[in-house]
Amino acid sequence: MTDKIRIGIIFGGRSSEHEVSLTSASCVLKAIDRNKYDVIPIGITKGGRWLLGNDVLALLSSQASELESSEYRELQASDLTEAVSVSLLPVPGKAGLVALQSEGNALSMSHLASRLDVVFPVLHGTHGEDGAIQGLMELADLPYVGAGITGSAVAMDKAMTKAVLSAGGFPQLPYIVVLRSEWEQDPMLVQEEVEAHLGYPCFVKPASLGSSVGISKVRNSSELQPALAEAAIYDRKLVIEQDAGAAREVECSVLGNDDPMASIPGEIVPSREFYDYTAKYHDSSSQLIIPARISPHAAEKVQDLAVQAFKALDCAGMARVDFFVDKETEHVYINEINTIPGFTPISMYPKLWEASGVSYADLIDRLVELAIERHQDKTRNVTSFSKEERE
């Protein structure tokens, strides 16, 4: 009998999308086939502590629900009766979690808490979707689900994504990028640039966050500075983008490595003026329409651009690519790419694959297969050079 694959599901994290990650992880943990996988839940607190234990998800969820402000209290020793503090060694061949034991102000490594065969980072946002956790997995030489360091870092940074897509000739709405320091030094100069190149309405976004955190729609000059101040809370780099006007918000899921495929496109009809955090996660009246209400030609264009953008950013495993499709002309514009899309009950990524004939459980299986496949391909790389051996 073949041993089960030991898969670490990592969730939580030091991110403003911490709560979304918990919801996504809950869905993955419920759907994953326990007959195929030995599942190791690994929670990361808002303060960055790694915790191992069957009740870690409940612990972090309880912690989040008890808070009365945006500030997290860090878990105390009294909270951790069912969890063990752990760390992952960034050392090849040591593919396991090391238990940490407090000794005064020091931490000592005691024993391997769990061997891991593959890791599924269900971590949205900072330190999870931006190449940070991917770098740790690379150092540990562990297979992991999703894009590598480069694809993760570029896709997470909306400014970098737009630069790469611009270089590749992909259709996008006009935009400008402003550093927080530039705005703080001369806010009126930034306003003049916005009004000269974009006009109103426009959208102001932190460059490196997801789930619509920190995004504002700006309808006139009086709303611009407050929107920039809000975005500047979350990032040093701000993206200001022209409004798409009368357009459909269309999303397409991509699955694969070197030869990716696209799902059928779906359409978002937000309950609010735009698809902000509340409309995404707290308002059940937002609509997900699958398939999207666009022509077959536009749907094919969306699918083709989704796959090409996935390749252009060197993504792997999975991504959700978001578009605007003009209601009159059906001209297609790429908005952004998410390399760790939501896996919540209302998330488009799994819903689009389900509508395309891939169940949630089968989707997890395929993502794990792709992670292992990519890792095996990487073992072909030579990491040292000897001229004598080559001759």
Which of 109-123, 259-273, 274-288 comes out lowest in average pLDDT? Answer: 274-288
Q: Which residues in the chain are classed under CATH 3.40.50.20?
A: 5-144
d(C-alpha 129, C-alpha 212), whole Å:
15
**DSSP track, 70-129:** SPPPPPPGGG-TT-EEEEE--STT--EEEEEEEETTEEEEEEEEEE-SEEEE---STTTS
| CATH code that applies to domain 247-378 | 3.30.470.20
Selection from 114, 107, 110, 111 nearest residue 41 by Cα? 114
- Nearest 5°: the CA angle 352, 131, 325 is 35
Asked whether 42 and 8 are in contact (CB, 8 A), the reply is yes
Q: Is 106:121 a contact under the CB 8 Å cutoff?
A: no
Give the model confidence (pLDDT) of 29-75 as tens digits: 999 999 999 999 999 998 888 998 778 898 888 766 554 344 455 55
Question: Does residue 29 contact residue 61 with C-beta atoms inside 8 Å?
Answer: no
State pLDDT tens for residues 347-387.
Answer: 899 999 999 999 999 999 999 999 999 999 998 888 877 66
> How much is the pLDDT for 105?
47
C-alpha closest to that of 301 among 213, 171, 140: 171
**Number of helices (H), then strands (E), in the chain:** 13, 17
Give the pLDDT mean for 301-314.
Answer: 98
Q: Which part of the chain is CATH 3.30.470.20? A: 247-378
Classify domain 5-144 at the CATH class level. alpha beta
Asked whether the whole model's pTM tops 0.85, one would answer yes
- 191 or 389, which is more confident? 191
**Any idea which residue has 């992909």 for tokens?**
170
**Of the candidates 154, 111, 124, the residue with the CA atom closest to the CA atom of residue 18:** 124
Stretch 326-349: mean pLDDT, rounded? 93
Q: Name every residue whose Cβ is closer than 8 Å to that of residue 21 and which is 6 or more positions away in sequence.
A: 11, 12, 13, 15, 122, 123, 124, 125, 128
State the Cα–Cα distance between residues 295 and 299, nearest whole angstrom. Answer: 6
In the numeric block, which tokens belong to residue 158?
């909306």
The tokens describing 9, both together, are: 């599901």
We find that the CATH architecture of domain 174-242 is: 2-Layer Sandwich (3.30)
Residues of each domain in the chain carrying CATH 3.30.1490.20 = 174-242
